[in-house]
A and B are shown apart, each in its own frame.
Chain A
């Protein structure tokens, strides 16, 4: 079955700097890669996603890249702000199948 590895587990960046979270997946059949942000006491919130026919996608300060050959995908957050502090999860799935999550990255934005 699918396995998603996520690094780092904890990341601290100065406010205004960029943050990068990296993930790898094992199942070449996976074709949908969502990213979720989870704040304390809340459920995961979809922030951006990418499908396997696209190599890069950007939405304001957030961008995702996908390398299907290497089975790598990454989340980039630019100009970080205090409200970006949260736990971020990468995930992989076949389009209408179960979502397999990474273990999460706790992002701290330092003042």
Chain B
């Protein structure tokens, strides 16, 4: 077990709705990154938060947004859901520049 926990584990939403996914980082870790993993593909970087500030963003539209809280937990918000947003969303935590450890993911299905 990595100590990174994500909630919920599964979620079904309707196209056009908004969703919030949550991640608790491993104790002592101050950096959280979010990834989207489509079926049969490798994870793709969405963005990273370091000490509550966005610290890098991948090729995702602005309707993907995030937050990091003072306890270093994090949220991923997706507005105006599209069918293609259906995927496994992964959170990874690290202590600055160190190995990243992943949670078990949230499986989002958009119908």
Contact = CB atoms under 8 A, between A and B. Distances in A.
Interface of A: 4, 6, 34, 36, 41-46, 49, 89, 91, 95-104
B3 to A, nearest CB: 12
11 contacts: A4-B42, A6-B42, A49-B99, A89-B43, A95-B97, A99-B35, A99-B92, A99-B100, A100-B45, A103-B42, A104-B41
B42 A46 contact: no
Contacts of B2: 43, 45
B44 A101 contact: yes
Give the interface size class of chain B.
20 to 34
B103 A43 contact: yes
A34 to B, nearest CB: 7
B58 interface: yes
Contact of B90 (A44, A98, A102): A44
A98 B48 contact: yes
Which of A41, A42, A95, A96 has the most C-beta atoms of chain B within 10 angstroms of its own C-beta?
A96
